[in-house]
Amino acid sequence: MNKVILMGRLTRDPEVRYSQGSEPVAVARYTLAVNRRFKRKDEPEADFIPCVAFGKIGEFAEKYFRKGQLVGVIGRLQVRSWEDKEGKKRWTTEVIIEEPHFAESKNSSNAAAPKEGGQAAADGFYPIDESVEDDDLPF
């Protein structure tokens, strides 16, 4: 079984390119900074995990993911190799994204200022009339 589940912050906006061919496919690349659970002296506090998303998932990343955003991803680990210009064999390990998820609200980093009466802005919701008694409710 090859399954990877990560939650971290994007280190930069996803970089999206399109494959060449009769039907171009989006290829989004980004890096997630994933905090380590335990920190030792002289070690970084996070691991920087390269991620790749193809097709509709890549287009989703391009449209909705931004630098600094907390996201969760599910995918699989892939190790690949190639030869560089000097003929040396090079290796890379990356996560191929199968399911992207938002891990925080859209406005969590820009906390909305409270409205009059101490109520925060909430799209699609209405303030509760505190004068209504439970006995007056039809259910």
Question: How confident is the model over 56-110, as pLDDT tens digits?
Answer: 999 999 999 999 999 999 999 999 999 999 999 999 999 999 999 999 887 765 4
User: What is the SS3 assignment for 31?
Assistant: strand
83 neighbors 54 (Cβ within 8 angstroms): no
pTM of full prediction above 0.75: no
Task: Give alpha helix (H) positions in the chain.
Answer: 55-64
pLDDT value at position 126?
55
Cα separation values, 100 from 48, 79, 112, 132, Å: 17, 20, 25, 42
CB 51 within 8 A of CB 4: no
Mean pLDDT of 104-131: 53
- Domains assigned to the chain: 4-105 (2.40.50.140)
> Which tokens hold the place of 105?
């609200």
Q: What is the pLDDT of residue 68?
A: 95
* pLDDT band with cut points at 50, 70 and 90 for residue 18: very high
Residue 104 is predicted with a pLDDT of 87
Band of the pLDDT at 124, cuts 50, 70, 90? low
Return the pLDDT at 131: 61
Question: What share of the chain has pLDDT > 90, as a percent?
Answer: 65
